[in-house]
Amino acid sequence: MSSSSESRQSKMIEELRVFIKKVMSEPTIAVKSMDIARKHKGAKDADALIAREISANTTIRIPENWSEADKMFLEILHEVLDDEEAMY
């Protein structure tokens, strides 16, 4: 593995650690994030809308230029929504 790849992975892991700590210390983040994702699902530029609203309404900050961890978080939101739909 190259040094830049290791550095990128290390940064993503650290971002995810901070995120997980926030979610564990404030459990309403997950609920709010899912509600926001449901609201914007299927909208044009849904990820940007979701990111902005989560940033405005929780302690999670998703900047304009998404990191790999930010992208992963948004992907996971969509996966959970897809799983919800599959159950019904």
H-helix segments, the chain? 3-25, 28-40, 46-57, 68-87
Look up the pTM and report it.
Answer: 0.82
Per domain, the residue ranges of the chain are 3-87
Q: Which of 21, 30, 38, 24 is nearest to 73 (CA)?
A: 30
Instruction: Give the model's pLDDT for residue 66.
Output: 93
User: For residue range 29-65, what is the model confidence (pLDDT) as tens digits?
Assistant: 999 999 999 999 999 999 999 999 999 999 999 999 9
